[in-house]
């Protein structure tokens, strides 16, 4: 069994896999990691392997803890990947982006694939039909745009997301929401159309925390399951186990 660990800025997402089958997933705070890990290990004593992906600079305590119980793989720029990574600066590439491309490679290995992850930032990652990862783009996410409008102006309020917004905002708050939501939607559709100009049979995957609020506004795309990133990490782990 595999234990998959994705450490973000505010939470730890974990999952237990048997080969490629997801058995259960969990979300908790980093402060509760040792306690939660023991609970998971008690429920699934057959866990032998683990992989850790983190946005934090130092996870040595967690790594040391996991190494006592499992054979641990730490995802970094030197990790063997199930696709050809042609990114010019792999040492700066986010581990979450690697995991998403791995999941895309697992499900759509022979396809031209654009993965859009709508989270804190909106990332665009492209893998071609030769299973080569070429790169993509990074753009501010919905919450980041709302906070920026409030932070960098004297009078604009911080507005809460509301997907029921018209094109023409009849108040300052609704105008902000219209600008952000409709602007992001137009951005996504525009970028997808530009990719499709060069890649006629492009497959588009939408994932991330803001997928649902954007799903009704984007013209096309396949909406990935919420465990898409965890599946990618598990695929990387399985790939390295066979090498």
Each domain of the chain, given as residue ranges in start order, spans 1-74, 84-243
**What local confidence, expressed as pLDDT, does residue 243 receive?**
64
Q: Is the pTM of this model over 0.85?
A: yes
Cα dihedral sign, 87-122-233-41: positive
pLDDT of residue 219: 79
Beta bridge partners of 203: 113
Which pair of structure tokens corresponds to residue 167? 């094109």
DSSP H or E stretch at residue 51: strand 49-54
Q: Looking only at Cα atoms, what is the longest distance across the chain?
A: 60
Q: Are 182 and 214 in contact (CB under 8 A)?
A: no
Q: Is the distance from CB of 134 to CB of 128 less than 8 angstroms?
A: yes
Which parts of the chain have pLDDT scores under 50? none
Structure confidence at residue 89 (pLDDT) = 94
CA-wise closest residue to 97 among 115, 74, 73: 115
pLDDT in the model for residue 239 = 95
CB 192 within 8 A of CB 221: yes
Catalytically active residues, by annotation: 96
Residue 202 is predicted with a pLDDT of: 95
Neighbour tally for 210: CB within 10 Å = 21
Q: Strand 84-85's sheet: what is its strand order?
A: 84-85, 132-140, 121-127, 113-118, 203-207, 222-223
Q: For 84-243, which CATH class?
A: alpha beta
Place of tokens 């800025």: 9
* Closest residue by Cα to residue 15 from 243, 180, 231, 199: 231
Q: What is the pLDDT of residue 110?
A: 95
* Other residues' Cβ atoms within 10 Å of the Cβ of residue 69: 15
Running DSSP on this structure, what letter comes out for residue 31? Answer: G
The DSSP symbol for 156 reads P
CA 150 to chain centre: 26
Phi-psi region of 195 (alpha: psi -120 to 50; beta: other; left: phi over 0): alpha
Instruction: Determine how many CB atoms are found less than 10 A away from the CB of residue 221.
Output: 20
CATH superfamily of 1-74: ATPase, nucleotide binding domain (3.30.420.40)
Tokens 């804190």 found at: 120
Alpha helices in the chain (DSSP H): 33-43, 60-67, 95-107, 142-151, 172-198, 211-215, 228-241
């Amino acid at each position: 069994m595999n234990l998959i660990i994705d450490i973000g800025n505010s939470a730890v997402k974990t999952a237990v896999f048997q080969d490629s089958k997801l058995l259960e997933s969990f979300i908790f705070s980093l402060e509760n990691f040792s306690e939660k890990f023991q609970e998971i290990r008690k429920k699934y004593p057959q866990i032998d392997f683990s992989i850790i992906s983190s946005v934090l600079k130092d996870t040595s305590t967690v790594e040391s803890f996991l190494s006592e119980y499992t054979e641990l793989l730490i995802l970094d720029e030197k990790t063997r990947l199930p696709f050809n990574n042609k990114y010019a600066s792999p040492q700066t590439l986010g581990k979450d982006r690697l995991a998403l491309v791995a999941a895309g490679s697992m499900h759509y290995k022979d396809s031209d694939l654009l993965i859009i992850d709508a989270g804190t930032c909106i990332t665009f990652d492209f893998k071609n039909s030769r299973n080569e990862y070429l790169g993509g783009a990074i753009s501010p996410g919905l919450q980041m745009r709302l906070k920026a409008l409030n932070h960098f102006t004297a009078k604009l309020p911080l507005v809460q997301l509301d997907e029921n917004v018209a094109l023409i905002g009849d108040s300052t708050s609704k105008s902000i929401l219209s600008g952000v939501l409709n602007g992001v939607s137009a951005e996504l559709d525009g970028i997808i159309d530009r990719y499709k100009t060069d890649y006629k049979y492009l497959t588009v995957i939408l994932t991330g925390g803001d997928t649902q609020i954007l799903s009704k506004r984007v013209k096309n795309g396949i909406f990935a399951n919420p465990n898409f990133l965890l599946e990618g990490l598990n695929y990387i782990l399985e790939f390295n186990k066979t090498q």
